[in-house]
Amino acid sequence: MTRIRRGYIARRRRTKIRLFASSFRGAHSRLTRTITQQKIRALVSAHRDRDRQKRNFRRLWITRINAGIREKGVSHSYSRLIHDLYKRQLLLNRKILAQIAISNRNCLYMISNEIIKIK
């Protein structure tokens, strides 16, 4: 019986996995079994940290808005400001408010003062 030459499919699959792990260190980029384990681990971490990143950015925005409001002693706390914004139906999300708090503080004070005047 003649020898059967193996196909290229398994080799193609392994090279695809190796390309994914080419930036990993040590055996994690060389040995096929550890490459597959590290690939699974990396994808799990990426999936988990996408949600965590959203959480962290929201916390950062809230902190920046709160610091910007309290700096000049405006009579609002963060929660009061957000509550009044919703009550007045002003469509400014936390990301935009945080950018305003960093780049243009006077605009943030104007917004908070307008809310106070309307009361």
pTM assigned to the model: 0.75
Per-residue pLDDT, averaged over 29-51, amounts to 96
pLDDT of amino acid 113: 83
Under 8 Å between Cβ of 37 and 21: no
DSSP letters spanning 48-102: HHHHHHHHHHHHHHHHHHHHHHHHTT-S--HHHHHHHHHHHT----HHHHHHHHH
Burial class of residue 82, CB neighbours in 10 A (0-12, 13-18, 19+): middle
Helix axes 32-71, 78-88, angle to 10 degrees: 90
Task: Give the pLDDT band of residue 1 (cuts 50, 70, 90).
Answer: confident
CA pair distance 44, 38, nearest whole angstrom:
10
pLDDT of amino acid 62: 95
pLDDT in tens, 46-96: 999 999 999 999 999 999 999 988 887 666 788 888 898 888 888 889 999
pLDDT in tens, 94-108: 999 999 999 988 888
The tally of CA atoms less than 13 A away on the side-chain side of residue 27 is 5
Per-residue pLDDT, averaged over 20-40, amounts to 95
Phi then psi for 4, rounded to 5 degrees? -95, 125
Ordered structural domains, the chain, with CATH: 8-117 (1.10.1900.20)
